[in-house]
Amino acid sequence: MTRQMTGAKMVVQALKDQGVDTVFGYPGGAVLPIYDEIFQQNDIRHILVRHEQGAVHAAEGYARSTGKVGVALVTSGPGATNAVTGLTDALMDSIPIIVLSGQVPTFMIGSDAFQEADTVGITRPCTKHNWLVKDTANLSSVIHQAFHVASSGRPGPVLVDIPKDVQFASAEYTPKPKAPVGHYQPQVKGDMETITQLVEALENAERPVFYTGGGVINSGPAASQLLRELVDATGIPITSTLMGLGAYPASGKHWLGMLGMHGLYEANLAMHGCDLMINIGARFDDRITGRIDAFSPKSKKAHIDIDPSSINKVIKADLPIVGDVAHVLEDMLKVWKARGRKVNREGLAKWWRQIEEWKQVNCLKYKPSETTIKPQYALERLEALTKGMDRYICTEVGQHQMWAAQFLGFEDPNRWMTSGGLGTMGYGTPASIGVQVAHPDALVVNVAGEASWLMNMQEMGTAVQFRLPVKQFILNNERLGMVRQWQQLLHGERYSHSWSEALPDFVKLAEAFGAKGILCKDPKDLDDAIMEMINYDGPVIFDCLVEKHENCFPMIPSGEPHNKMLLGDAKATNAIAGKGAVLV
Amino acid sequence: MSALQIKKGSSKHSAYNLRPTFSDVQESHTITVLVENEPGVLARVIGLFSGRGYNIDSLTVAEVDHEGHLSRITIVTTGTPQVIEQIKAQLGRIVSVRDVHDLTAEGSSVERELALMKVAGTGDKRVEALRLADIFRANVVDSTLESFIFQLTGAPEKIDAFADLMRPLGLVQVARTGVAALARGQD
């Protein structure tokens, strides 16, 4: 059956056929025909954001919390350029999203028309792939292909730029193909020979460690299940990057906590001292490795990644396996079981005794206070009071983000949304909106710093309009906390522009938006205030006034290896010097 | 076969082919990339090189399969073995890239370049230029009483050598196409 329709109708039809139920967007001249089609249907819900950056981050939050592809719709020119930060964020964190952008009509492209920008040119380096559709006959197949590219292989953002005349013109609709077409078909099965070698290494290792990343989450719930089975059956300790939290439960008995620059002491020392490192879906990011030439010097390194370019990019892999995490883990388990479920019990027992010793350092300890709310205490209470709830956590970027990763426990994948690779301040508020849209009955908390939060605070309007009860939990130290910490560590406590002198009254701000505002500054009131936030049926801005000059520890100073961590009692002033000072 | 389907041992241009240790030695490699001929595909390849700080010593591109809409891009690049492997893996990630081959690493290949050189002069120098052109099998494709344009094909080194000889004889302009290359043998 062939169906003629306009390009605008094709967009909506293709989204429906791809199972899309929600689009985050902002209208404008070059997308009016698509908005007119959205108006005339009820299958796809449109969430009107307040800024296009918010639309893309909301789509990211939606994608990360559901595992589905997130969709954003923006207009030409400024609409598309405002989407660039979100696209780059999604590229760095491998989040599958589709941005549909309007474009000036084809006959005006190149004439510097009103609200014209070279959108495919601007977004080429910040998308996995992008398309400018010049003929309505190709539009629906391009959108179907866009979904395939965004979600297969290493996921990522794609953009489809649609000129206005293409939206008005009619052509035949191409239905969603039953099987993916085209030449883009990434390899998912790992090489069996290398997998067998890895299992053999795992059986003999005295000090093995699993180092897992966002690739496990991206691979889907089956990957997390298989990972749990493998870890618990072998008894090998596991640590994870910021992106991979929740793949293995924080309450699991083999869990070491997060690793990396602000990771846990025991996790980093296990990485440094291991004899077999099994990297599953992580990419040896510089926040993880610290100094490369002193990174885990005695270990054999296995690297499982769906993206061949991740392997040997930073750290040489002794056992490289290109494939999808779930497929490779399934094969690993099969081979390990068939070979008799062997591990080096004696070595492992000794290894765990060593790890227990490291745990005694209690690296997350901090000086408690009875008069001031310590940010760590605020998160400990948030964790205690929300544990076991159907809970999703988003964050902004900075000290609060690292404290959230350290002090909150994640039991399941897709429950933790944070900007890892790009480190985008302003990510959390719109992301929390995307998560809440996907999970209307869940508790969605955005752990924020006041500076990050102000970057996309306009999205509170979206939360109020669509009755999204997102909780904005702001740890307010009236500082750009992480910048201030680095100025203390690196620049002789000269706090150049790292404080805010004219912060809004967040309670009044909440009321101005039509939300609820809660102010808390006394540790004794904190529990009641958090419960009030949780129990309020609607969006809340929680202004939690915390210790202003608290430092986030432990910390691997830049330019140092894992075994040179700064702990909480370290002398902070000018602790980073020499070569490390040029690193970020 | 998609450029992303890399099996261990199945080809010499995979991420597995790394040298035992990361080396600092700079190597020159000729990489040939088969791409879908669509708008912006060259920008994707060039943007990858500039964005990640890789070198381009020479680049040629033209459609080679009109019906299949395929173009071949030939890139000569310099880098450490690790960087060369990264370049190939990064090229393989581009959605419009069908196939990546490292001709330098995959055995012998044929590399050719075409150059046009304008040499101006009179008297002995003019005669000497013509004599050398004959030795290099360069053709005269334009002539005035005081100048020649020579057309020369060959490996880049041959063209370099000819240009060096022409310089004292009145070389005024050079145009070079960059390297086109194919692997020797039947496939």
Given this model, what pLDDT does residue A1 score? 57
Question: Which of A125, A132, A320 is nearest residue B39 as measured by Cβ atoms?
Answer: A132
Supply the CATH number for residue B143's domain.
3.30.70.1150
| Cβ contact B75:B101 at 8 Å | no
The answer to whether residue B60 sits within a structural domain is yes
Chain B touched by A311 (CB under 8 Å) = yes
The answer to whether residue B4 sits within a structural domain is no
Domain span including residue B87: 15-102
Question: Which of B8, B14, B47 is nearest residue A124 as measured by Cβ atoms?
Answer: B47
Name the CATH superfamily housing domain A375-545.
Thiamin diphosphate (ThDP)-binding fold, Pyr/PP domains (3.40.50.970)
Both B98 and B113 in one domain: the answer is: no
| Cβ contact A452:A396 at 8 Å | yes
The answer to whether residue B165 sits within a structural domain is yes
Most A CBs within 10 A among B1, B42, B83, B93, hence the mutation to make, goes to B93
Burial of A351 (0-12, 13-18, 19+ CB in 10 A): buried
Residue B20 has pLDDT above 60, yes or no: no
CB–CB contact B92 A183 (8 Å): no
Question: Which of B5, B18, B95 is nearest residue A129 as measured by Cβ atoms?
Answer: B95
Residue B186 has pLDDT above 70, yes or no: yes
ipTM of this complex: 0.91
Enumerate the residues of chain A whose CB falls inside 8 A of the CB of residue B40: 120-121, 124, 132
**Residue B80 distance to chain A (closest CA, Å):** 12
Question: Which of B2, B4, B16 is nearest residue A320 as measured by Cβ atoms?
Answer: B16
Domain boundaries, chain A: 4-172, 192-359, 375-545
Confidence at A575, pLDDT banded by 50, 70, 90: confident
Both B122 and B87 in one domain: the answer is: no
CA–CA gap between residue A428 and residue A401 (Å, rounded): 10
A418-422: average pLDDT: 98
The tokens describing B116, both together, are: 């046009």
Chain B touched by A132 (CB under 8 Å) = yes
Both B144 and B120 in one domain: the answer is: yes
**Residue A222 distance to chain B (closest CA, Å):** 23
- Residue A300 is a catalytic residue: no
User: H/E/C letters for each residue in A229-294?
Assistant: HHHHHHCCCEEECHHHCCCCCCCCCCEEEECCCCCCHHHHHHHHHCCEEEEECCCCCHHHHCCHHH
Given this model, what pLDDT does residue B18 score? 40
Dihedral of the alpha carbons of B86, B91, B94, B95, in degrees to the nearest 10? -120
Residue A412 has pLDDT above 80, yes or no: yes
A483-491: average pLDDT: 93
Enumerate the residues of chain A whose CB falls inside 8 A of the CB of residue B43: 121, 124
- Residue A115 is a catalytic residue: yes
Count of residues for chain A? 584
Confidence at A582, pLDDT banded by 50, 70, 90: confident
Chain B: residue nearest A192 by CA?
Answer: B8
The answer to whether residue B2 sits within a structural domain is no
Residue A576 has pLDDT above 80, yes or no: no
Residue A56 has pLDDT above 60, yes or no: yes
Catalytic residue from among A115, A197, A354, A458:
A115
Chain A: residue nearest B51 by CA?
Answer: A125
CB–CB contact B40 A153 (8 Å): no
Question: What total number of domains does chain B contain?
Answer: 2
Residue B12 has pLDDT above 50, yes or no: no
Question: Which of A149, A313, A320 is nearest residue B86 as measured by Cβ atoms?
Answer: A313
- Residue A114 is a catalytic residue: yes
Catalytic residue from among A4, A41, A107, A114:
A114
Question: Which of A193, A309, A312 is nearest residue B93 as measured by Cβ atoms?
Answer: A309
CB–CB contact A316 B7 (8 Å): no
pLDDT in tens, A78-108: 999 999 999 999 999 999 999 999 999 999 9
User: H/E/C letters for each residue in A83-150?
Assistant: CHHHHHHHHHHCCCEEEEEEECCHHHCCCCCCCCCCHHHHHHHHCCEEEECCCHHHHHHHHHHHHHHH
Both B88 and B133 in one domain: the answer is: no
pLDDT in tens, B78-125: 999 999 999 999 999 999 999 999 999 998 999 999 999 999 999 999
Residue B101 has, within 13 A of its CA and on its CB side, a CA count of 17
Confidence at A578, pLDDT banded by 50, 70, 90: low
Both B82 and B129 in one domain: the answer is: no
Which residues have a Cβ under 8 Å from the Cβ of A238 and sit 6 or more positions away?
Answer: A209, A210, A211, A212, A227, A231, A248, A252, A254, A255, A256
CB–CB contact B15 A316 (8 Å): no
| Cβ contact A430:A458 at 8 Å | no
Dihedral of the alpha carbons of A33, A38, A40, A46, in degrees to the nearest 10? -150
Residue where a domain stops, chosen among B73, B102, B131: B102
| Cβ contact A436:A58 at 8 Å | no
Enumerate the residues of chain A whose CB falls inside 8 A of the CB of residue B14: 308
Residue B10 has pLDDT above 70, yes or no: no
Residue A501 has pLDDT above 90, yes or no: no
What's CA A77's distance to the chain center, in Å? 27
Dihedral of the alpha carbons of A10, A12, A17, A20, in degrees to the nearest 10? 150
Burial of B47 (0-12, 13-18, 19+ CB in 10 A): middle
Domain A375-545 in the same topology as domain A192-359: yes
Both B117 and B76 in one domain: the answer is: no
Enumerate the residues of chain B whose CB falls inside 8 A of the CB of residue A300: none
Residue where a domain stops, chosen among B102, B129, B163: B102
**Residue A143 distance to chain B (closest CA, Å):** 15
Whole-model pTM above 0.90? yes
A367-378: average pLDDT: 97
Given this model, what pLDDT does residue A291 score? 87
Sheet holding A129-132, edge to edge: A45-48, A22-25, A70-74, A97-103, A157-163, A129-132
- Residue A18 is a catalytic residue: no
Residue A376 has pLDDT above 50, yes or no: yes
Both B52 and B118 in one domain: the answer is: no
Residue where a domain stops, chosen among B102, B123, B155: B102
pLDDT in tens, A250-297: 999 999 999 999 999 999 999 999 999 999 999 999 999 988 889 999
pLDDT in tens, B68-79: 999 999 999 999
CATH architecture designation of domain A192-359: 3-Layer(aba) Sandwich (3.40)
Q: Kindly list the distances between the CA atom of residue B170 and the CA atoms of B121, B126, B177, in Å, as whole numbers in the listed order.
A: 6, 8, 21
CA–CA gap between residue A318 and residue A300 (Å, rounded): 6
Secondary structure class of A203 (helix, strand, coil)? helix
CA–CA gap between residue A232 and residue A258 (Å, rounded): 18
pLDDT in tens, B135-172: 999 999 999 999 999 999 999 999 999 999 999 999 99
Both B46 and B75 in one domain: the answer is: yes
A233-262: average pLDDT: 98
Given this model, what pLDDT does residue B95 score? 96
Enumerate the residues of chain B whose CB falls inside 8 A of the CB of residue A151: none
Given this model, what pLDDT does residue B22 score? 67
CATH dotted code for A4-172: 3.40.50.970
**Residue A557 distance to chain B (closest CA, Å):** 25
The answer to whether residue B10 sits within a structural domain is no
Most B CBs within 10 A among A305, A312, A314, hence the mutation to make, goes to A312
Residue B19 has pLDDT above 70, yes or no: no
The mean of the pLDDT values for chain A is: 96
Count of residues for chain B? 187
Given this model, what pLDDT does residue A397 score? 98
Burial of B76 (0-12, 13-18, 19+ CB in 10 A): buried
Confidence at B5, pLDDT banded by 50, 70, 90: very low
Chain B touched by A186 (CB under 8 Å) = yes
Determine which of A181-195, A199-213, A321-335, A382-396 has the lowest per-residue pLDDT on average: A181-195
The mean of the pLDDT values for chain B is: 89
Enumerate the residues of chain B whose CB falls inside 8 A of the CB of residue A312: 15, 18, 82, 85-86
Supply the CATH number for residue B74's domain.
3.30.70.260
Both B139 and B70 in one domain: the answer is: no
Determine which of A121-125, A541-545, B12-16, B158-162 has the lowest per-residue pLDDT on average: B12-16
The answer to whether residue B114 sits within a structural domain is yes
The answer to whether residue B8 sits within a structural domain is no
Given this model, what pLDDT does residue A560 score? 86
CB–CB contact A153 B4 (8 Å): yes
CB–CB contact A320 B15 (8 Å): yes
Both B89 and B142 in one domain: the answer is: no
Cα dihedral A44, A49, A53, A59 sign: negative
Enumerate the residues of chain A whose CB falls inside 8 A of the CB of residue B2: 183-186
Both B23 and B93 in one domain: the answer is: yes
A489-509: average pLDDT: 94
Both B35 and B73 in one domain: the answer is: yes
pLDDT in tens, A272-281: 999 999 999 9
Name the DSSP class of A298: T
**Residue A13 distance to chain B (closest CA, Å):** 25
